[in-house]
């Protein structure tokens, strides 16, 4: 694994590991000893990978498992925007490395390939004292996609002989994230990030189903607001959702949670 030229020019550092419990957990341990980034941590394998809400993230060799430590933003309230910044960077990196495939973003933190889950983003915050610190975890199915899930999943390798490696995707991702962070400008440019995220969003203008903690909501995906919240047009009028799971595949009809 290597950083891209832009990332190296901006002073981003890289820690490569053969195996780790979780790259996000390793990032947290380093932050506790004073690390503030910008630093990428990438591992060939994870033994305890995890996604949102503590869900297990299957981590066979050949896929991409990486976390970015970042502290160059002034206020903790801005940290959730980094999930959208990373989504924009992921789309740029996938198109640069794999070509113009059918890559989309699913609110709030997933990447899709031909409508199936390709990867996800796990954003975590750490109290770094006077300066907030964010851990941006990202995993992508490059060589392998997990089976027996309640939703479809795909790997980039399924696109054929010209499919990129994890090394290629990672190098493009490190540069794309630098560019997206420059566009974001610690929150000042979130409107531009939001616009690009929406251009890559799955399901705009379509009826979708969203699983919340105590209910499932159906509505037309209208937009995301200035804070990144999902805006649905429901039978009862507009509804703004702070957190939830947009359902696809079998669970979209059963209402089951992943």
Percentage with pLDDT > 70 across the chain: 91
Are 150 and 81 part of one and the same domain? Answer: yes
Residues 194 and 234 in one domain: no
| 258 part of a folded domain | no
Report yes or no on 166 lying in a domain: yes
Cis geometry, peptide bond prior to residue 16 (ω within 30 degrees of 0): no
The rounded Cα 9 to chain-centroid distance in angstroms is 24
Indicate whether 185 and 220 sit together in one domain: no
DSSP 127-178: --TTS-EEEEEEEE-SS----S-SS-B--GGGG-TTPPPHHHHHHHHHHHHH
Q: What's the mean pLDDT in 63-72?
A: 95
Query: Could you tell me the CA-to-CA distances from 17 to 22, 27, 45, 122 in Å, in that order?
Result: 11, 12, 8, 19
Residue 217 lies in a domain: yes
**Which structural domain range is residue 57 located in?**
5-199
- Kindly state whether residues 98 and 212 are assigned to the same domain: no
**138 and 244, same domain (yes or no):** no
Same domain flag for 133 and 44:
yes
Q: What is the CATH number of the domain that holds 46?
A: 3.30.930.10
Whether the CB-CB separation of 84 and 78 falls below 8 Å is answered with no
DSSP H/E element including 8 = helix 5-9
140 and 49 co-located in one domain: yes
For residues 90 and 217, state if they share a domain.
no
pLDDT at 49 over 60: yes
- Secondary structure (DSSP) of 43-61: EEEESS-B-GGG-B----T
Q: 67 and 99: one domain?
A: yes
Residue 219 pLDDT exceeds 50: yes
Residue 250: pLDDT above 50?
Answer: no
Rounded distance, CA 258 to CA 8, Å? 37
Same-domain status, 11 and 50? yes
> For residue 215, what is the domain's CATH number?
2.30.30.100
Query: Which tens digit of pLDDT belongs to each residue from 132-191?
Result: 899 999 999 999 998 877 788 999 999 887 899 999 999 999 999 999 999 999 999 999
pLDDT of residue 237 exceeding 50: yes
**Structural domains in the chain (count):** 2
What pLDDT is stored for residue 174 in this prediction? 98
* Across 44-62, average pLDDT: 72
pLDDT higher for 247 or 206?
A: 206
Whether 182 maps to a domain, the answer reads yes
The answer to whether the Cα torsion of 133, 168, 117, 233 is positive or negative is positive
* 50/140 same-domain check: yes
| Residues 147 and 242 reside in one and the same domain | no
DSSP secondary-structure letter at 213?
S
In a domain, 180, yes or no: yes
Rounded distance, CA 142 to CA 32, Å? 31
CA distances from 75 to 13, 69, 80 (A): 23, 16, 11
């Amino acid at each position: 694994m290597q950083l891209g030229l832009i990332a190296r020019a901006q002073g981003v550092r890289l820690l490569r590991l053969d195996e780790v419990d979780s790259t996000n957990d390793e990032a947290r341990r380093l932050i506790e000893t004073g690390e503030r980034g910008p630093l990428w941590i990438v591992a060939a394998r994870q033994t305890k990978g995890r996604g949102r809400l503590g869900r297990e993230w299957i981590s066979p060799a050949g896929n991409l498992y990486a976390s970015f430590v970042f502290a160059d933003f002034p206020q903790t309230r801005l940290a959730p925007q980094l999930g959208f910044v990373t989504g924009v960077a992921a789309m740029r990196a996938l198109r640069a490395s794999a070509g113009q495939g059918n890559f989309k973003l699913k609110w709030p933190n997933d990447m899709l390939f031909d409508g199936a889950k390709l990867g996800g983003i796990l954003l975590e915050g750490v109290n770094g004292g006077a300066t907030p610190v964010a851990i941006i975890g990202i995993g992508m199915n490059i060589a392998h996609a997990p089976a027996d899930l309640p939703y479809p999943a795909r790997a980039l390798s399924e696109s054929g002989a010209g499919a990129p490696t994890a090394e290629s995707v990672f190098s493009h991702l490190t540069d794309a994230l630098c560019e997206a962070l420059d566009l974001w400008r610690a929150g000042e440019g979130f409107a531009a990030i939001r616009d690009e995220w929406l251009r890559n969003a799955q399901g705009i203008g379509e009826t979708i189903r969203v699983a919340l903690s105590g209910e499932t909501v159906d509505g037309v995906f209208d937009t995301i607001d200035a804070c990144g919240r999902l805006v649905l047009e429901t039978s009862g009028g507009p509804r703004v959702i702070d957190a939830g799971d947009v359902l696809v595949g079998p669970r979209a009809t059963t209402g089951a949670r992943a």
